[in-house]
Chains A and B, each alone.
Chain A
Amino acid sequence: MGVKKDILFKRKGFKIPEGYFESINNDFFKIEKIDVNRFSVPKNYFNSIDKQQVFNRIYINRIKYLKTNFYRAVAVVFIGILFLTNNLDKTNNLNSEDIIEYVNQDMLYFSSSDLSELFASNELNYTFLINDDDIEKYFIEANFNTQEYLLQE
Chain B
Amino acid sequence: MFLENESNFIERLKNEKTQNSAFETLLTNYKQPLYWHIRKIVLNHDDADDVLQNTFVKIFRGITKFKGDSKLYTWMYRIATNESLNFLKLKSKKYFQSSEEMMNTLANNLKEDPYFDGDMLQVELQRIISSLPDKQKLVFQMKYEQNMKFTDISEILGTSVGALKASYHIAVKKIKEKIKKIQTF
**Which residue of the partner chain, among A36, A39, A51, contacts B27 with CB atoms under 8 Å?**
A51
Query: What is the chain A residue whose CB lies nearest that of B46?
Result: A42
**Which residue of the partner chain, among A26, A31, A41, A54, contacts B45 with CB atoms under 8 Å?**
A41
Q: Mark A25-39, 1 if CB is under 8 A from B, else 0.
A: 010111100111111
| Stretch from B79-87, B93-101, B168-176 forming part of the interface with A | B168-176
Q: Bound state CA distance, A54 and B34, in angstroms?
A: 15
Assuming A53-B53, A54-B57, is B32 touching A46 (CB within 8 A)?
yes
List A contacts of B31 (CB < 8 A). Answer: 46, 49
Q: Mark A99-119, 1 if CB is under 8 A from B, else 0.
A: 000000000000000000000
Query: What is the chain A residue whose CB lies nearest that of B43?
Result: A39
Interface of B is mostly: helix
B179 touches A49 (CB 8 A): no
A58 touches B61 (CB 8 A): yes
Q: Bound state CA distance, A54 and B55, in angstroms?
A: 9
Q: Does A72 sit at the interface, judged by CB under 8 A?
A: no
Q: Does A24 sit at the interface, judged by CB under 8 A?
A: yes
A51 touches B168 (CB 8 A): no
Q: Does B24 sit at the interface, judged by CB under 8 A?
A: yes
Q: Does B23 sit at the interface, judged by CB under 8 A?
A: yes
Chain B interface, number of residues (Cβ within 8 angstroms): 38
Q: Does B165 sit at the interface, judged by CB under 8 A?
A: yes
Q: Does B13 sit at the interface, judged by CB under 8 A?
A: no
Q: Does A97 sit at the interface, judged by CB under 8 A?
A: no
B39 touches A39 (CB 8 A): yes
List B contacts of A152 (CB < 8 A). Answer: none
**Which residue of the partner chain, among B36, B40, B56, B117, contacts A54 with CB atoms under 8 Å?**
B56
A24 touches B169 (CB 8 A): yes
Task: Tally inter-chain residue pairs, CB-CB below 8 A.
Answer: 75
B52 touches A29 (CB 8 A): no
B116 touches A40 (CB 8 A): yes
Q: Bound state CA distance, A118 and B145, in angstroms?
A: 84
List A contacts of B129 (CB < 8 A). Answer: 36
**Which residue of the partner chain, among B57, B117, B169, B179, contacts A58 with CB atoms under 8 Å?**
B57
Q: Does A141 sit at the interface, judged by CB under 8 A?
A: no
B57 touches A24 (CB 8 A): no
Q: Mark B109-128, 1 if CB is under 8 A from A, else 0.
A: 00000011110011001100
B27 touches A54 (CB 8 A): yes
Assuming A28-B172, A40-B116, is B52 touching A57 (CB within 8 A)?
no
Q: Does B144 sit at the interface, judged by CB under 8 A?
A: yes
Given A49-B52, A58-B60: 17 more A-B contacts, CB < 8 Å: A21-B165, A24-B165, A24-B169, A29-B172, A29-B175, A34-B122, A35-B122, A36-B122, A36-B126, A39-B40, A40-B117, A42-B45, A45-B49, A51-B27, A53-B53, A54-B60, A58-B57
* Cβ-closest 4 pairs across A and B: A38-B118, A54-B56, A40-B115, A49-B31
Could you list 16 A-B pairs, sorted by A, with CB under 8 Å?
A24-B169, A29-B172, A30-B176, A31-B175, A34-B121, A36-B145, A38-B117, A38-B122, A39-B45, A40-B115, A45-B49, A46-B31, A49-B31, A54-B56, A54-B60, A57-B53
